[in-house]
Structure 1
Amino acid sequence: MSTYVSHIASIASQRNRMRDLIIKWANINSGSCHVAGLEKMAAVVVEDCAGLGATVERITLPAQNVVAAEGTWHKVPLGPAISMVKRPESRVRVFLGIHADTVYSPENPFQKACETSPGKLNGPGVLDAKGGLAVLLLALETLEKSPWAGNIGWEVLINPDEEIGSPGSAPILAAAARRNHLGLVFEPALPNGNLVSDRKGSGNFTFIVRGRSAHAGRDITTGRNAIAALAEAVVRINAALGRLDAVSVNVGQIEGGTALNVVPALALCRINVRVGSQEQQAQVRSHLEAIAADISGREGFCAQVLGDFHAPPRAADAAMLLWLGRACACGADLGLNISWQGSGGTCDGNRLAANGLITLDTMGPVGGEIHSPQEYLLLDSLVPRASLAALLLLKVASGEYGCSSR
């Protein structure tokens, strides 16, 4: 540890700078579907990271396919991804990634970041994941000032679509996974500071029921109520998937109907499912299709399931456990008592690991209540987490921590 102390010591003076960057970034609305906000966020981040001296590329992503309220596919534009690359010809290469998007739309009242109490920053995306971007930046700045920087190459991807499953950036992540030796993703640490080992897989599905319109008074018996049929399907979906071990299901949106005196001919719900294994992905799909087939077998009704799994489950293998141990050893060097545990959450770490890259994906700061107006970041975690990431990079660059060849 003594070899690296002088190189990470300067991070301690950067707490307020990191705080100010996070507030600036959080005050830019970058909801996943707010392209103008994501464009602005990308431009600001490129400027703030200019000192790294990397080659920067702005990547236009293909539009996302989304099931609209009328039950058909349509395309929704995505914001730009930002790639920053330095020394790509190096023998050892590290991928660092985090997303710029948040779950908060421009219409959401939660728009500004502020310290609600000393050391506690509340705001949209302060923890998930603009705080992680600040930690990433400080870690790379520390590496670049060290005498070992020239020994490794690195690339950064800041993507605009992680909160919606990375539909546009998934191919970029897959390609990056195949050309790097280690991945660091700066999603928030768990509330106790631990890293994540095993992760569940995640899929998004739309269950659509079509019935038959009719007058709700004069001709109600000739109608086929799509909302009523969908309500039954939701109960059956929860029951069927709830019986599968380690599977969780969340019916997050329901749409349907027109006027109250019209039997609704169309209804749909959007569902997120988390699974623990590849086998369970097939089981989930089978259950959904069976329920749709049963409803379709009734006169006047047609049901279908659209969507798929976008993040495969990840089980920590021996190589990942080695790197989790190394990260925790770096934490111990810094006086941090951290370990690792499984999580039901998914992130781009799932996608990187599925393409063969050893990935530590909770390198960001500590806080809580993400995806809610109570989202907060503990400011005193910024320096320790930046120091942790920097120390890990320095040990890789110095050769103390070897990377397997690709």
Structure 2
Amino acid sequence: MKTYLQNHQEQMLQLLEKLVNIDSGSHDKAGVDHVGTVMKTLYQEIGFDIKEVKQEEFGNHLIIQKKHTDETKPTILILTHMDTVFEKGTAKERAFRIDGKRAYGPGVIDMKASLVSVYFAMKALIETGQNSAFQVEILLTSDEEVGSLTSRELIERYAEGKKYALVMEPARKNGAIVSARRGKGHYTVEVVGKAAHSGIEPEKGRSAIEELAHKIIQLYEITDEEEGIHVNVGLIEGGTSVNTISDHATAQVDVRFRTQDQVTEIKEQIATIIKNIDVDGTKVKIEGDINRPPMEKNEQTEKLLRIIKKVGDELDIFIKDTETGGGSDASFTSALGIPTVDGLGPVGGRAHRESEYLDIESLVPRTLLLASVIDDLAKRKD
């Protein structure tokens, strides 16, 4: 497989260029579906069946697998996504380019390089006569970057009965794969006050901004770095003019946490903060919830990590693992009790930014690692 992939590196980069140069922001349905059509055609050419799950707002999801019998029923779920965070027109402004040992372009590492890697891993397994491709079911989803709003149910449904979940978010820039991710919640806090002129009759006003300021400070106090809990108020809005006591104010709140056991206490703390009014005459309401469970590093994860590291050692690829605060679809499979490892894509960095890049020299080794891990897992009877 190593020789096969080395001989096909140029084709891998050509496919990557094609994908990167297609705008596929989460809300660009046509663009995401264009990426899906490219991948659908390629997989069909190597004998895979594709089921398309139609969506109205987002791109269509793809479920990809080889025809199988009960004896070769897929035991390995691979999760990838086709959407990016970039607006339509970005691909034209910043088309795919190679500069030295790096490739650049919108979505190049998150995660179009992984789409290439998974496809060529499957192709390498097939071309070298490995039956392990029958053990794999691949999901290409369309809305991961906006919280997997329509794909979560699909992921959880197809995860049922699987022995392993391999998630293709990029490896960290130091090459580490991901063994734990913090859970995530998103809330909108809205305060209603009473407007008044701040110079003529301030006593008649009830400042929504003042009340929101109290709430923001109290929400930040939930943060506990040692326990892996972090609250961030990332957006605030309110008022109509500098000399008017504000009658409305809102805040967007991001919550991260390390374990599922922390959720109840976090929710109780938030509820208490919202209930207790600091500025008389104002009203506060909150909308939102925890929308991603944490991916916890447990005994099952450790076992899968040992397998991956052993395969890496055999390929002279040193593998280490790490925890990250960012969310991914790995949280959904992990929460179902399925051994899950993330960050199995190629190496790169600066995801979601103009300088996002792929380390080109990692493309073949990480694809080889993926194919070899699949082959190892498929042959295990435990």
TM-score (norm 1): 0.86
Which residue of 2 is the match for residue 31 of structure 1? 25
AA at the equivalent of 2:99: S
Give the alignment partner of residue 275 of structure 1, picking from 257, 280, 284.
257
Shift of 1:333: 1.6
Q: For the structure 1 residues 355 and 232, does the alpha-carbon distance in structure 2 shift closer, same or farther, using more than 3 Å as the test?
A: same
Would you say the 8 A contact 2:25–2:84 is kept in 1? yes
Would you say the 8 A contact 2:27–2:58 is kept in 1? yes
Unaligned runs of 5+ in 2: none
Q: Does 1:79 align with 2:59?
A: yes
AA at the equivalent of 2:66: K
Q: For the structure 1 residues 57 and 112, does the alpha-carbon distance in structure 2 shift closer, same or farther, using more than 3 Å as the test?
A: farther
> How many Å separate the matches in 2 of 1:217 and 1:100?
54
Q: For the structure 1 residues 121 and 94, does the alpha-carbon distance in structure 2 shift closer, same or farther, using more than 3 Å as the test?
A: same
Q: For the structure 1 residues 396 and 240, does the alpha-carbon distance in structure 2 shift closer, same or farther, using more than 3 Å as the test?
A: closer
Which residue of 1 is the match for residue 119 of structure 2? 137
Q: For the structure 1 residues 358 and 179, does the alpha-carbon distance in structure 2 shift closer, same or farther, using more than 3 Å as the test?
A: same
**Residues 36-75 of structure 1: CA distance to partner in whole angstroms, max 9, x if unpaired?**
322322223323333232221221347xxxxxxxxxxxxx
Q: For the structure 1 residues 203 and 13, does the alpha-carbon distance in structure 2 shift closer, same or farther, using more than 3 Å as the test?
A: same
Which residue of 1 is the match for residue 281 of structure 2? 300
> How many Å separate the matches in 2 of 1:43 and 1:374?
27
> How many Å separate the matches in 1 of 2:22 and 2:173?
25
**Residues 289-308 of structure 1: CA distance to partner in whole angstroms, max 9, x if unpaired?**
2221123x643211122111
AA at the equivalent of 1:149: N
AA at the equivalent of 1:309: I
| Counterparts of residues 4-403 of structure 1 (less than 5 Å) | 7-61=1-55, 77-89=57-69, 90-106=72-88, 111-115=93-97, 117-149=99-131, 152-242=134-224, 245-260=227-242, 262-295=244-277, 298-397=279-378, 399=379, 402-403=380-381
Shift of 1:86: 1.8
**Residues 69-114 of structure 1: CA distance to partner in whole angstroms, max 9, x if unpaired?**
xxxxxxxx33221111223532452211111112223376995243
Q: Superposition RMSD on alpha carbons, in Å? A: 2.4
Shift of 1:251: 2.0
Shift of 1:218: 4.1
Shift of 1:382: 0.3
Q: Please give the secondary structure, in 1, of the residue aligned with 2:281.
A: coil
Q: For the structure 1 residues 211 and 34, does the alpha-carbon distance in structure 2 shift closer, same or farther, using more than 3 Å as the test?
A: farther
Q: Please give the secondary structure, in 2, of the residue aligned with 1:371.
A: coil
Shift of 1:259: 4.7
**Residues 258-288 of structure 1: CA distance to partner in whole angstroms, max 9, x if unpaired?**
4555443222221221101123222221222
TM-score (norm 2): 0.91
Shift of 1:178: 0.7
Would you say the 8 A contact 1:201–1:276 is kept in 2? yes
Would you say the 8 A contact 2:120–2:367 is kept in 1? yes
> How many Å separate the matches in 1 of 2:158 and 2:136?
10
Q: Percent same amino acid at aligned positions?
A: 29
Unaligned runs of 5+ in 1: 1-6, 63-76
> How many Å separate the matches in 2 of 1:319 and 1:10?
32
> How many Å separate the matches in 2 of 1:335 and 1:124?
31
Shift of 1:245: 2.3
Q: For the structure 1 residues 323 and 299, does the alpha-carbon distance in structure 2 shift closer, same or farther, using more than 3 Å as the test?
A: same
**Residues 119-173 of structure 1: CA distance to partner in whole angstroms, max 9, x if unpaired?**
2112221111111111111111112223332683322111111122212111111
- Greater shift in the superposed pair: 155-164 or 208-217: 208-217
> How many Å separate the matches in 2 of 1:264 and 1:317?
49
Q: For the structure 1 residues 46 and 223, does the alpha-carbon distance in structure 2 shift closer, same or farther, using more than 3 Å as the test?
A: farther
